[in-house]
Amino acid sequence: MRIISTGKIRPGMIVGKNIYSADGRILLKKDVIITEGYLAQLDRLDIPYIYVKDHIDEDIVIDDVIKEESRVEAVNITRRAIEKIHRGRDIDVPEVKTVINKIVDELLGNSNLVLNLIDIRAQGDYLYGHSVNVAVLSGIIGVALNYNQIMLRDLMLGALFHDIGKTKLNRKIVEGKNSADSSGTAENKKHCQYGFDILRANAGISLYSAHVAYQHHEYFNGNGYPRGLKGQEISEFARIVSVANTYDIFLSNVREEEETSILKAAEYLTANCGAIFDPEIVAVFLKRVAIYPIGTRVLLNTGEKGFVTKTHKNFPTQPVVCVDTNLFDVKFNQGYDVDLSNKKAYFIIGCEENI
């Protein structure tokens, strides 16, 4: 199984992972054969990429860091919470905490916690899926920082509702694809204060979680908002969510001409260490993200091509690559593995979109 941009999908390809709507409904099931009609549907729903199967990579299995049903449940709970806020009602905090606890347990039970799978869903009602992604990404960082269960739950609850203040803004801002990065105007910047006030008004949500909504747009160098806090003045939870939020925005806004949004996200986070982001948190996060996820087709400096079959937690740019011995006539599992973490003369120079 491998991931490819929608612009490179062709009729006859086989869907490798379920594709969901923003509210958790299955739009295209795993193992469905792509037709011209499905291609038009993917384009209409603004889905930037999908996982596909073929005879070359049929043995590759890509697991999410949490269970698929937990992710779907979290998206639906987030949607219900946001709808309640729109109607002037309180969040069902016990319901939210139940799914957060489940995800925390799944993250802590994953002994080799490396993010390989990209969450793919239709971009309508973008805020719901984005919120869950940011919560999971923040949880991965928290695990790497050795947070205990209570800290992880407070962190992830705050991350899940980091943009809840946008419910007080224009509904189109909340539901649009670019809702996560549409905060540049003075009016939109108010969502931080709005979010803090909403979370503080809901019994059972800690002050630590509420400060995530308030501070996730503060910059490490003091040039952020709403208060211009700097460095350690910013809640560590908020510094974590700032990194997770930015990473997910990059993946959600992938374009056909981009070679890999993951690599661009990593480059952006690294380039802005000490300015926008806490350098230590970025370093921790990038060790847990597969820059070349399992199933990615890559080109080595030797001219050989292959697929990533395994990633290493502390070596994100040096995965194991199964090199094709004959791309068109030989099945994937008949290639040979090259572990780039201990083959220093080998390195990746390109991936799916430009080879």
Q: Is 1.10.1200.10 the CATH classification of the domain at 68-286?
A: no
pLDDT band at 272 (very low <50, low <70, confident <90, very high): very high
Distance CA 49, CA 16 (A): 11
Neighbours of 43 (CB within 10 A): 12
Beta bridge partners of 28: 19
Residue 316 contacts residue 334 (beta carbons within 8 Å): no
Comparison of pLDDT for 25 and 255, the residue scoring more: 25
* Alpha-carbon distances of 175 from 93, 95, 164, 340, rounded to whole Å: 22, 22, 12, 42
Per-residue pLDDT of 169-212, as tens digits, reads: 866 555 544 444 445 578 788 999 999 999 999 999 999 999 99
Helix (H) or strand (E) holding 189: helix 186-189
Per-residue tokens: 29: 């099931």
pLDDT value at position 121? 59
Q: Is 3.90.105.10 the CATH classification of the domain at 2-53?
A: yes
Work out the average pLDDT over 153-158.
Answer: 97
Residue 123, pLDDT > 60, answer no
Torsion sign (Cα): 116, 120, 125, 128? negative
| Domain layout of the chain by residue ranges | 2-53, 68-286, 297-354
Work out the average pLDDT over 6-20.
Answer: 83
Residue 163, pLDDT > 50, answer yes
Residue 147 contacts residue 104 (beta carbons within 8 Å): no
Sheet holding 49-53, edge to edge: 2-5, 49-53, 14-15
**Of 157, 142, 181, 59, whose CA–CA distance to 101 is shortest?**
157
pLDDT band at 16 (very low <50, low <70, confident <90, very high): confident
User: 315: number of CA atoms within 13 Å, CB side?
Assistant: 14
**Of 117, 107, 118, 119, whose CA–CA distance to 145 is shortest?**
107
Q: Number of helices (H) and strands (E) in the chain: give both, helices first.
A: 12, 10
pLDDT value at position 281? 97
Comparison of pLDDT for 329 and 196, the residue scoring more: 196
CA 301-262-275 angle, to 5 degrees, is 110
Stated pTM of the model: 0.83
Residue 130 contacts residue 178 (beta carbons within 8 Å): no
Work out the average pLDDT over 63-86.
Answer: 87
Distance CA 252, CA 129 (A): 10
Comparison of pLDDT for 320 and 19, the residue scoring more: 320
DSSP 115: B
pLDDT value at position 224? 95
Q: Are 2-53 and 68-286 the same fold in CATH?
A: no
Distance CA 33, CA 144 (A): 39
Neighbours of 144 (CB within 10 A): 17
Distance CA 129, CA 121 (A): 8
Beta strand 297-300 pairing with 305-312: antiparallel
Distance CA 336, CA 304 (A): 11
Helix (H) or strand (E) holding 50: strand 49-53
